[in-house]
Structure 1
Amino acid sequence: MSRVVLISRDGCHLCDDAETVLDRILPGQWERVDVDSDVELERDYGDRVPVVLLDGAEHGYWRVEEARLLRDLARQPGEPRI
């Protein structure tokens, strides 16, 4: 599993923007999950997509915070984030 997962949905312009950013800063190093593919994902994230998960924890939603994501990726998994 990738350290970075984007919870997204088809037809979402913010999701398209987030995918473009992730492709640019982390080419081939992230995974996309369709929020509509799972009832729990829809319940938890349906109104806030796109949602970026880092190491399984929510990192942000609606926009990719590039500098913060890259900074947090430089840390080892499990190391506290600021």
Structure 2
Amino acid sequence: MSAFTLFQRDDCHLCDQALAVLAEARLPEFESVWIDDDDALEARYGIRVPVLRRGDGEELEWPFDAATVRAFVSHTP
């Protein structure tokens, strides 16, 4: 299991931008979870995607940049 999860949806241009930011930040391995067709995830995240979640449950909501992601990663417990 990865220490980070990116919640996203299909055909989401903001999710594509988030992936580019994560690459720029050189985020360690992460899991992608699509919220489409999952009622519980849709209810939780809805239009907030993309959302990056750390293993401790803290979440970073869009918009974020590479510096913000690096700071978020550095606070990993």
TM bracket (short chain): 0.7 to 0.9
Shift of 1:76: 4.2
Shift of 1:25: 2.1
* Higher relative contact order, chain-length normalized (CA < 8 Å, sep 6+): 2
Counterpart mapping for 1:1-80 below 5 A: 1-26=1-26, 29-77=29-77
Structure 2: distance between partners of 1:67 and 1:3: 18
CA deviation vs aligned residue, 1:26-69 (integer Å, no higher than 9, x gap): 36611110011421111000121111111252422222342232
Q: Following superposition, which runs of at least 4 residues in structure 1 exceed 4 angstroms of deviation?
A: none
Distance 1:32 1:18, change over 3 A: same
- TM-score, scaled to structure 1: 0.75
Letter in 1 for 2:49: V
Percent identity of equivalent pairs: 38
Structure 1 vs Structure 2 CA RMSD: 2.0
Gaps of 5+ in 1: 78-82
The 3-state SS of whatever aligns with 1:11 is coil
